[in-house]
Structure 1
Amino acid sequence: MEAVIRTCWALLLYCSMIAAHADIAMIAPSSTAQAQKFAQMLEASLRDTPVPEKVDLLDLNTEFDLKKYRLIITLSGSTLRQLIADDRLPDGIPVVASYLSKAEHRQYKSYVTSAVYSEAPLQRQLALAEAIFGENEVFGALVANDASALVSADNLRVYPIAEYDSLNHALVELLGSSKALIGVYDPELYSAENIKSILITSYRHNRPLIGPTQAYLKAGALASTYSTPEDVVKRLSEVITSGLGEQGRFPASNYNPYFSVGFNRQVGRSLNLLLPDPVEVARRLRSQEVIQ
């Protein structure tokens, strides 16, 4: 009888160890409160799916063994870049990158199984501009020197700065023939040094900035689409369920289909614009896109 009891306790202990084991490693630059909450949100989101895996939050600056996990999730492009530089990604284990720009994905795609891009697609920001000003208006986008990754649209004109004497020269020409400036995701072009000049010049011409991210709303952009942490968790949950579940196939890297619309209503009033309902606009824009 005593031997049976010992065996039962051993089985219970083994089962508890299995239950506590995490199959997903989430790697962050540091173990901040925001990163911890994000990991908890993802684990909760997976709880009622076919792959209710536990999530371990790992600090990039600490030692860890990734070989014991089924899946690796990276938070930010800098995290992925550091893991690659340190040769810490084991072979044969899928990597899903979050908060990775499309440009970063092009650079590191051989290391990534799937990714949820950090920025919104230009097509979505253009659709937002059309929702505010109308589909028949012409809009402009500043780019550094490469327009190959941008959407092709009849009402969008692209101005590569490399073809002008200066950023300001390109911007002034754009503003003279466009209803609004559509901001592309380019941290160097839309840097802290440049954004003030871009916004001042734009509003001198009575032309607003749309996008490129939520952060620019506070700086003076009129509107932008953006994905909240909850939106990112929702998409990651779908990617993980598809890849680790019965389907066994991770979706191709892509933009997040879940997003919101934000307005700077003070800027809208200064331009005498009657802005639509952001919830309704977001719903309409989402209905125009196809989740892959």
Structure 2
Amino acid sequence: MWALWVFSSLVFTVAAHAQDSANQTVYLAGSGNTALDQHIGSLLQDRLGDGVTLLPISDDQIPLIENTPVVSVGPAAFSRVRQANRSIPILAMLVQQSFIDGFAELAPGQISGVLYDVPLLRQALTGKAILPQANTVAILATPGSVELYEPLLDQLPLHGMTARVFVVESDGDLIPTLVRALGYGDFLLAAPDDAIYNPRTIKHILLTAYRRNKIVIGPSQAYVRAGALASSYAPFPEMANLGANALKEYFATGQFPDPSYPTRYRVEINDQVARSLNIPIPDREALNQTIQDELTNAGGPQGD
């Protein structure tokens, strides 16, 4: 079905389609990963229904768009769309809050996003759900990223936890700082901070934690596959629900809602790491419910 949709869409011109189509139209600027773009496109189209037509668009067509929303998949696609046409409304998918918030503040209602990074509080509570006795959370940061963790430091006491941020001053300081952090925390909370967690460093971080019988939580499913114990993540269907709702609100009001997180998450577990560290893992659904119950009962933010 998607293949037919893509083939038929390639024959249109932006101007002609805008004039002739009776349906509302949304354009999709892809990431370049065909399978990912097709999957997100299919999920969005299903949720938007027959009254909205979702069409892929090439870079040379973007400047021709007027008053028609564009869904961009990933930060690179958003940047291409924004640079090519600064007047069109954009819904950015698969972007982090730190990436899109500045754009949304400059163009409120015209730029929004479905946030891909998981709220740090939820990630911390994922560690707590796996290790109920855990009370202290260790965090690594660079001098430039310390401020990102201020909200979490304020939120954790509401959930019976405390955290300490250990600052990595230089590349050579990473492992010594990590060792100090592991000595403090019941687990290491890994955030989407590329200066700390990247392909060059992650193996050393995970091995150092493993040798000290400490677990790493987060920052994503990819890192769980690499050796972190667990990470919460938003399933693509949930992100598509949020994206479709944002588009429907735009068509109804002419304004996008603010960038937001999904409200439903799942937990990815590295079972091999759990067995190696002799950590019993509850059922995935039980983990999800434990995290949600803690957020609800403590009155904490559900997805901020």
Tell me the TM-score normalised to structure 2 length.
0.80
Rounded Cα–Cα distance in structure 1 between residues aligned with 2:202 and 2:53: 41
Counterpart residue number, 1:96? 91
Counterpart residue number, 1:202? 209
Q: Does 1:238 align with 2:245?
A: yes
Q: Does the 8 A contact of 1:23 with 1:69 survive in 2?
A: no
Counterpart residue number, 1:57? 56
Quote the offset at 1:41 in angstroms. Answer: 1.7
Mapping for residues 53-202 of structure 1, pairs under 5 Å: 53-60=52-59, 62-68=60-66, 70-84=68-82, 87-91=83-87, 93-109=88-104, 110=106, 113-134=111-132, 137-145=135-143, 146-150=145-149, 151-152=152-153, 153-154=156-157, 155-162=162-169, 166-202=173-209
Residue 252 of structure 1 aligns to a residue whose secondary structure is coil
Rounded Cα–Cα distance in structure 2 between residues aligned with 1:142 and 1:268: 22
Rounded Cα–Cα distance in structure 2 between residues aligned with 1:216 and 1:271: 17
**Structure 1 portions without partners, runs of 5+:** 1-13
* Larger gyration radius, structure 1 or structure 2: 1
Rounded Cα–Cα distance in structure 2 between residues aligned with 1:39 and 1:63: 18
Deviations 1:28-69 (A, max 9, x none): 133713312321220111117xxx311111244x44455245
Deviations 1:61-118 (A, max 9, x none): x44455245211111111122333xx31242x32111111122124533356211122
Q: Match for 1:34 among 33, 36, 42?
A: 36
Bigger CA drift: 163-172 or 129-138? 163-172
Structural RMSD (CA)? 2.6
Q: Does the 8 A contact of 2:129 with 2:290 survive in 1?
A: no
Residue 135 of structure 2 aligns to a residue whose secondary structure is coil
Residue type of the alignment partner of 1:130: K
Q: Does 1:18 align with 2:17?
A: no
**Structure 2 portions without partners, runs of 5+:** 1-16, 296-300
Q: Does the 8 A contact of 1:210 with 1:221 survive in 2?
A: yes
Distance 1:97 1:79, change over 3 A: same
Counterpart residue number, 2:231? 224
Residue 41 of structure 1 aligns to a residue whose secondary structure is helix
Counterpart residue number, 1:257? 263
Rounded Cα–Cα distance in structure 2 between residues aligned with 1:164 and 1:134: 33
Tell me the TM-score normalised to structure 1 length.
0.83
